[in-house]
Amino acid sequence: MNKATNTICACETNPQNRLSAKLILEDGTEFSGWSFGSKKAVSGEVVFNTSMTGYPESLTDPSYEGQILTLTYPLIGNYGVPGQQMEDRMHKYFESDKIHVYGLIVSDYSFEYCHWNAAGSLAQWLQENDIPGIYGIDTRALTKHLRERGTMLGKIVFDEEKIPFFDPNKINLAELVSCKEIQTYGEGKYRVVLVDCGVKNNIIRCFLKRNVAVIRVPWNYDFFTLKYDGLFLSNGPGDPQMYVQTIENVRKALQQNIPIFGICLGNQILGLAAGATTYKLKYGHRSHNQPVLRTGTNSAYITSQNHGFALDDSQLPADWETLFTNLNDNTNEGIRHKSKPFLGVQFHPEASSGPTDTEFLFDEFIESIANTQKGSNDGK
């Protein structure tokens, strides 16, 4: 440890007798590399993320449940992994309490790491959580393959294990990652019910620092039994059309005038409840540099994104409109109701990791709560 800077630096042994590992895609394509995580054969959906930083946040993002994550930035592990400090009953430096990716694919694993907040190495963390990792893969070739042919299923094997391919989009992933009982955070001015389909911790943090109490409920909870000022629909993994109970609950909520805000999967669920449809993207949006344009303005924002499905905003009813559009492929990045305080965005304004350019959307949501309550009081 460097006492002057309080920085932890460490070097792992790069083994001479390295354990070989292989990634096999469902179309028969194979990539060979070396293990730096757990020796565990796994199967899932192979996706890629083009972000340059933020692997601790990405690996603990519940939206990656069921997926084998490829990081396109070539050098991974150089700043290690932070510790397990808790704050407001959440892991301070992670987005949930566990790693959610099923496997990790990188080009070059750094056996030396150095960072003021490092508590250990990425390899050590993966091994402790029984998650396989492969380095030495040509991630540019793999990413190009997925871009051209589309996201596909794959498996990581070590000794030619005979494991089947697994499609996570065919099961209810929200049930796996959602909380099992009500959890309350803070004692703020307003009470927001957060429907947990796989929420990131930083979303809760964004509410808490704005003096908002968060009542976190399971993905299928009947939240109409609770008293609340606003409804939040979280991010999460998988096909949004799987979550029929959530969609039905939100459809009922749309009959009220209580403000609603959705992020990522929450945007899709909001759209489905309104009457639109969703579809699977060819290879998804997973990066820190997705540009979006706010409808009716010249305001463009760089956003953090992580999703494999999109909302078909052409199917929105007449009383809804597009709020944001992706400038790369013109896919929907947000919707809102024309007269009621309902809005959703496909990107992640809470970032963690990524740019915080759009965090002001939390303020807009809270302002809509205040305006709704003021209007109700004025009408009495």
Q: Which residues are catalytic?
A: 264, 348, 350
Q: Which of 218, 3, 21, 170 is CA-nearest to residue 109? A: 21
Tokens of 98: 């566990």
C-alpha 34/C-alpha 22 separation (Å) is 8
Calpha distance 380→378 (Å, rounded): 6
Helix, strand counts (H, E) of the chain: 8, 25
- Give strand pairing partners of 134: 35, 105
Residue 332 tokens read as: 């929907």
Residue 183, SS3? strand
**Residues 305, 48 contacting (CB under 8 angstroms):** no
Q: Hunting for tokens 């992706």 — which residue is that?
A: 326
Cβ distance 344 to 263 under 8 Å? yes
Q: State which amino acid sits at residue 95.
A: E
Q: Which 8-state DSSP code applies to residue 241?
A: G
Give the Cα separation of 75 and 92 in Å (integer): 25
CB of 61 within 8 A of CB of 94? no
Other CB atoms within 10 Å distance of the CB of residue 224: 11
Tokens standing for 272? 């489905």
Phi-psi region of 160 (alpha: psi -120 to 50; beta: other; left: phi over 0): left
Structure tokens at 338: 């024309």
- Cα–Cα distances (Å) from 36 to 117, 122, 250, 311, in that order, read 21, 9, 43, 37
